[in-house]
C-alpha cells in the first residue's frame, strides 16, 4: 500500500512540474494601428497567468510569455476576441468587433487601405 501511495505522489509531482511557468507562444491577431496594439496587449496581459504580451502592428504577431499552470493560448485568445480582435483560433463576434473605434475596423478593406497609405506617407 505504501508503494502505491509513493507511486501516486511521484506521478502527481511529475505532472505538476511538467507545466511551464514561462511558456512562450506566438499567435496571429488581427488589427491595424497603435490603438489596436494597446487594446490587444491590455486584453492579453489582464488574462490571469500572462506575464508578457507584445503585439507587432506590421506582422500581426502577438508574442506571449505565460504560466501554463494558470492559462493557455485558447483562454488568451478568448480574452482578445472579447475586446474585438480576431485570432486564428477565436473570432470576435460582430458585437465585439463593432465595439472598437472606427479606425480599428480591421475587417473593412477601406480602413486597411487608409492605414497602409498612412504607413507609406510616413516613410
* Total count of domains within the chain: 1
Would you state the cell numbers that stand for residue 26, as one nine-digit string?
506566438
Phi and psi angles of residue 66, each rounded to the nearest 5 degrees, phi first: -150, 165
Domain of residue 71, CATH code: 3.30.70.100
Q: Is residue 83 part of a domain?
A: yes
Q: What single-letter DSSP state applies at residue 103? A: G
Q: Which residues contact 68 (CB under 8 A, 6 or more apart)?
A: 19, 20, 21, 23, 49
* pLDDT (tens digit per residue) in 20-60: 899 999 999 999 999 999 999 999 999 999 999 999 999 99
Mean pLDDT, rounded, for 9-15: 57
Please report the pLDDT score of residue 27 as a whole number: 97
Kindly calculate the radius of gyration of the chain based on its CA atoms and give it in whole angstroms. Answer: 19
Please state, in angstroms and rounded to a whole number, the distance separating the CA atoms of residues 18 and 38: 32
Residue 116 has pLDDT above 70, yes or no: yes
Residue 78, domain extent? 20-122
Assigned domain for 80 exists: yes
Q: What is the pTM assigned to this prediction?
A: 0.81
Amino acid at each position: 500500500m505504501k508503494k502505491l501511495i509513493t507511486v501516486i505522489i511521484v506521478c502527481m509531482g511529475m505532472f505538476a512540474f511538467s507545466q511551464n511557468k514561462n511558456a512562450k507562444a506566438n499567435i496571429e491577431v488581427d488589427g491595424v494601428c497603435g490603438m489596436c496594439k494597446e487594446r490587444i496587449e491590455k486584453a492579453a496581459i489582464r488574462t490571469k497567468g500572462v506575464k508578457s504580451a507584445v503585439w507587432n502592428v506590421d506582422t500581426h504577431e502577438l508574442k506571449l510569455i505565460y504560466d501554463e499552470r494558470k492559462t493557455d493560448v485558447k483562454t488568451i485568445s478568448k480574452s482578445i476576441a472579447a475586446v474585438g480582435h480576431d485570432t486564428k483560433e477565436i473570432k470576435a463576434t460582430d458585437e465585439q468587433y463593432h465595439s472598437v473605434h472606427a479606425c480599428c475596423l480591421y475587417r473593412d478593406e477601406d480602413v486597411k487601405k487608409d492605414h497602409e497609405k498612412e504607413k507609406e506617407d510616413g516613410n
